[in-house]
């Protein structure tokens, strides 16, 4: 809300395991993610990892679809206009109807569908100008991971407003995709529900990346334990000849 009030650029994304792994597997994309202003733990496994590795003591995750609704609620109270960028025109039309029904006084200044392809620098600049001139104070970006994070990184210097990447929230709030039951979300099983709903599209994401995430998490946990032991002067058990 402060960034919207002062018309200050602010880039925000909420990452689950897949989003974290896009950065872990690409140094270029890791640089982009680290350049964003706020990166939130969307998935429960990401929250658990932060608590395990760094003692973050996070009591819950920051779920992208919930974040979007809470920002809309505050925008309605403060009189800020929101914009919606990404997805298809029919999804955006449904999303707009659902948001206007839920937040009757919320101003939606722009609904701009994705072009689903590469755009030139000139087209990027034209899109940014269109968003700026629409009167949007807060922009939600629903391009999917990692495209939306790339877009935030590339456009953070063009738009003086909060840019919030919310992933599948557009489809959920447009009532195009069902959300996992709360008991599955709380137990970190949302990925299993989504895999069951869209196996052909998502199987590589979850079947390959989830085990790799756990493996890298284990390596980092061991590395941190050893480093902390050395820093504190604790003796490390003898492990045999090097």
Taking the C-alpha atoms of residue 132 and residue 240, their distance in angstroms, rounded to an integer, is: 64
- Asked, for residue 242, whether it belongs to a domain, the answer is no
Q: Which are the contacts of 241, defined by CB distance < 8 A and separation ≥ 6?
A: none
- What's the token pair of residue 135? 């009167």
Residue 236 pLDDT: 45
Listed in sequence order, the DSSP H helices in the chain are 2-6, 17-24, 27-35, 44-54, 64-78, 89-102, 121-133, 147-155, 169-173, 182-186, 190-197, 199-231
- Asked, for residue 230, whether it belongs to a domain, the answer is no
- Asked, for residue 233, whether it belongs to a domain, the answer is no
Domain count for the chain, please give it: 1
7 pLDDT exceeds 90?
yes
- Asked, for residue 231, whether it belongs to a domain, the answer is no
Q: What average pLDDT score do residues 47-63 get? A: 94
Which helix (H) or strand (E) segment holds residue 12: the answer is strand 10-15
- Asked, for residue 36, whether it belongs to a domain, the answer is yes
Helix (H, G, I), strand (E, B) or coil at 195: helix
- Asked, for residue 232, whether it belongs to a domain, the answer is no
- Asked, for residue 79, whether it belongs to a domain, the answer is yes
- Asked, for residue 239, whether it belongs to a domain, the answer is no
Taking the C-alpha atoms of residue 215 and residue 221, their distance in angstroms, rounded to an integer, is: 10
Altogether, the residues listed in the chain come to a count of 242
In degrees, rounded to 5, the angle at the alpha carbon of residue 84 between the alpha carbons of residues 78 and 90 is 135
- Under 8 Å between Cβ of 180 and 206: no
pLDDT tens digits for range 156-212: 999 999 999 998 999 999 999 888 888 888 888 888 888 888 888 888 888 888 999
Q: Give residue 72's domain range.
A: 2-225
Please report how the helices 17-24 and 199-231 are oriented relative to each other, as an axis angle in degrees rounded to 10. Answer: 70
Chain position carrying tokens 């590339």: 154
Q: What average pLDDT score do residues 84-89 get? A: 96
């Amino acid at each position: 809300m402060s960034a919207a009030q002062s018309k200050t650029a602010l880039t925000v994304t909420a990452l689950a395991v897949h989003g974290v792994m896009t950065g872990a597997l690409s140094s270029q994309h890791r640089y982009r993610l680290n350049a964003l202003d706020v990166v939130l733990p969307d998935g429960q496994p990401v929250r658990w990892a932060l608590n395990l590795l760094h003692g973050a003591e996070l009591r819950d995750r920051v779920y992208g679809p919930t974040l979007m609704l809470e920002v809309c609620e505050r925008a309605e109270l403060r009189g800020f206009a929101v914009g919606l960028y990404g997805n298809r025109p029919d999804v955006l039309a449904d999303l707009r109807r659902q948001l206007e029904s839920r937040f009757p006084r919320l101003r939606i200044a722009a609904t701009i569908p994705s072009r689903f392809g590469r755009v030139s620098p000139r087209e990027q600049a034209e899109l940014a100008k269109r968003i700026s001139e629409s009167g949007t104070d807060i922009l939600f970006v629903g391009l999917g991971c990692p495209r939306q994070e790339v877009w935030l990184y590339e456009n953070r210097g063009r738009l003086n407003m909060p840019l919030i990447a919310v992933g599948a929230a557009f489809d959920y709030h447009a009532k195009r995709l069902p959300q996992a039951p709360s008991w599955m979300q709380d137990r970190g099983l949302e990925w299993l529900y989504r895999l069951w709903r869209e196996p052909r599209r998502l199987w590589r994401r979850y079947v390959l990346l989830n085990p790799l995430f756990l493996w890298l998490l284990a390596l980092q946990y061991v590395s941190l334990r050893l480093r902390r032991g050395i820093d504190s002067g604790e003796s490390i058990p003898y492990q045999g000849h090097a």
